[in-house]
Amino acid sequence: MSKQKLSLGFSPCPNDTFIFDALVNKKIDSGELEFEVILDDVETLNRWALAGQLDISKVSYGVLPSILHAYHLLDAGGALGKGVGPLLIATKAIPDLSSQIPNLAVAIPGEHTTAHFLFSLAFPSAANKKFMVFSDIEDAVLSGKADCGVIIHENRFTYQQKGLVKLMDLGDFWEQQTGGPIPLGGIVMKKSFDETLQQQMNTLIRESLQYAFDRYPELSDYVKQHSQEMDEHVMRKHIDLYVNNYSSTLGSDGRQAVDTMMQVYKQLHA
């Protein structure tokens, strides 16, 4: 059987390495498929998707409307949920935040991220945004380079230890507006691949996720090695928050949440 090699991009964050570990490390049978794996920050993956560089990739839902001409959204492998949204943080409370926002420098984890989309929805008058890698945002706020910042990933679990305070949960804002889960990130595959191959990828991602779930709370070396200095307790909190039933299948309410985000995106960019 001839092998077919596909480029596959996802982040080194525990939720992604947890989902894809068994697939990319041959712990499950991937048949004729082999993968060239690229791990990078999700905003880098977003930019690559805009350029059509990878066959399959994790992306922010915030970039999805701009790439649907070239990519198809897979049903498996994504991150949606309630209580999982980005947080707006600062060194101290900011009274009358909505009226102050136009005057504040706000650190954002990438222009094409869902975090930027949700922040723009909550604060359309924000005029001074500083785009940077998500892991630099806490330090930017602490050093005064930014007045406030939008944090994602494991920073949700560490900002209070650094003396930072929450100004708003942007996920709560979305849930109050829509009543649905927050679409954070999904897996896309180039439309040039036929539907049979897309469905095969959905099946393989689900099998890889089930392999990880069957062994949880044990964490594989693959998850640990890419989590840098994060301790295992934070890794598990990260996985518990971002990996759930929606990671196996969007389901009807997950698809509805994605459709709602697409509609809101069009309104914001009308």
Domain residue ranges in the chain: 4-80+184-268, 87-178
The single-letter DSSP state of residue 157 is: G
pTM: predicted TM-score of the whole model, two decimal places: 0.94
Strand order in the sheet with 165-169: 128-131, 105-108, 148-151, 87-90, 165-169
The answer on pLDDT for 267 being more than 80 is yes
pLDDT at 228: 74
The answer on pLDDT for 1 being more than 70 is no
How far apart CA 179 and CA 198 sit, in angstroms, is 30
> How does residue 136 score in pLDDT terms, banded at 50, 70 and 90?
very high
DSSP string for residues in 10-56: E-SSHHHHHHHHHHHTTSS--TTEEEEEEE--HHHHHHHHHTT--SE
Cβ neighbors of 218 (< 8 A, separation 6 or more) are none
> How does residue 139 score in pLDDT terms, banded at 50, 70 and 90?
very high
User: CATH assignment of 4-80+184-268?
Assistant: 3.40.190.10
The answer on pLDDT for 2 being more than 80 is no
Taking residues 111-128, what's their average pLDDT?
A: 95
Cβ neighbors of 141 (< 8 A, separation 6 or more) are 89, 90, 91, 107, 147, 148, 149, 164
Q: Which long-range contacts (CB under 8 A, 24 or more apart) does 63-70 make?
A: 63/112, 63/113, 64/186, 64/188, 64/258, 64/261, 64/262, 65/262, 65/265, 65/266, 66/112, 67/188, 70/190, 70/191
Same fold for the domain at 4-80+184-268 and the one at 87-178?
yes
**Tens digits of per-residue pLDDT, 202-234?**
999 999 999 999 999 999 999 999 987 789 999
- Give the chain's mean pLDDT: 95
> How does residue 51 score in pLDDT terms, banded at 50, 70 and 90?
very high
> How does residue 113 score in pLDDT terms, banded at 50, 70 and 90?
very high
Residue 149 in tokens: 């910042």
**Tens digits of per-residue pLDDT, 157-196?**
889 999 999 999 999 999 999 999 999 999 999 999 999 9
Q: In percent, how much of the chain has pLDDT > 90?
A: 91
Q: Fold for domain 87-178?
A: D-Maltodextrin-Binding Protein; domain 2 (3.40.190)
Catalytic residues: 153
